[in-house]
Structures are given as structure tokens and as C-alpha cells.
Amino acid sequence: MTAKSLFVTGTDTGIGKTHVSVQLLRGLAARGVRASGFKPVASGCMRDATGALRSEDALALRAASAVPLPDYASSNPCALEQPLSPHLAARLDGTEVKLGPLLAAYDALVAAHEVVVVEGVGGWAVPLSPRLMQADLARALGVPILLVVGVRLGCINHALLTTRAIAADGCRLLGWVANTIDVTLAQADAAIATIGEAIGEPCMVRFGQRAEGEAEVAAELARVVLKRL
């Protein structure tokens, strides 16, 4: 395994993990870094014209990767149809998520790239199978964790619980980014500062404040990530 990879998780589902991962990949590409996105497990996939399952998130990661990737499965080895927790979606699909194929796909990407941005599914404490938690995958990859905090009501609680869970699961927090979900949230800056003070780690960058500034934010995130990896 390579040290120059990271696992992107979030305080919940639908809080911007894919957006942040894509922006990070673009920031890395702008610095000339050969980087690839990787979505080991995806549920809620849609069928394309050939009937094959495809994840919107994985397709976005593929499009932002530095070089053309081989077949779709190289970036999303486990695609599940139902929009459910992976262990439930896999059961309905008549399969089970297993660690071996995920690690093999990751190793193949590592061999051809300088950085692999691994995007998790849902929040941190997600079961991939009755015997496999998402934390087991992150530990097996041996990479640090980038936490995406969805800035909305309740984000302080969610951020603190998630960072504690990451540490309890034996994984290292690389840092965290804020992604604005609710633009009307009162005292958003204060909430972000509170999270930083509570976990002893200030926010790396903040997404979602203005679309025209995303490239600059992505560039800064790429700079900080490369420094910390």
C-alpha cells in the first residue's frame, strides 16, 4: 500500500464527499500530480444502456482523475443497485461485499498513480457486510482519513462523534474540511470554529460559500493534503 493516499469520509450521507473528492482531484491535477479517484463500494447505482450498474459518484471521480482509467470496475469494484446501506443493498442483490476485491482494485490504482483519493460510502460507521465495517476497509488500506463535515444544524455533534469514532477504530485523521449544506445556518463560522477547538484541529478549507472560488479552495486543499500525506 502507498502512504500517499487518503480515505474521504463524512459526518453523514449526502454532505458532499464526492464534491470535495472531485475538487481535491482537480486541485492535485493542477499541481501535476498523477491522482485517481476510487469508490470501493457504491449503493443506489443506476443501470446504463447496457444494463450495467454505474454509480454517479464513481463516474464523477473517474472524470476528475488525472489520466483515463481502465474499465469501470477499476474505480468502483462493488456497485449495488438499491439506495440502502451496503450490507442491505448487497443482500437484495444476492451478493456480499468482501474485502479482497476492494483491496485488489486499490492496489492496481496505486501502482499507476501518485495519489489515490478513496471515497467512502455514507458516514463513517457504515456496515459493508454482516462481518465487515467501513472502518475495517480503511484500516486495511492503511491510509489517513479526510473528514467532510456538512455544515448544517447538528454538525458540531456529528463532527465530534465521527472524529472520536475514527480514533477509536484505530485510524488517523488527516484533517477535516467544511462543506456548506445549509447557507441559512446562523453562526456557521462559530460552529466551524467550535469543531476545530473541540478536536484540536482547525478546518483545512471551506467549500460551498461561493461557486466562483471553488478552484482556489481546491488548490489550497491539494496543497495541504500533499503536505500532510
Query: What are 130-179's pLDDT values in tens digits?
Result: 999 999 999 999 999 999 999 999 999 999 999 999 999 999 999 999 99
Which domains are seen in the chain, by residue range?
5-39+106-228 (3.40.50.300)
pLDDT band, residue 67 (cuts 50/70/90): confident
pLDDT of residue 70: 83
Contact 181, 158 (CB under 8 A): no
What does the alpha-carbon distance between residue 123 and residue 75 come to, in Å, rounded to a whole number?
Answer: 20
**Which grid coordinates are listed for 98?**
468482501
Question: Is 4 noted as a catalytic residue in this protein?
Answer: no
Identify the sign of the CA torsion 224, 225, 226, 229.
Answer: positive
Catalytic residue among 17, 39, 98, 227: 39
pLDDT at 1 over 50: no
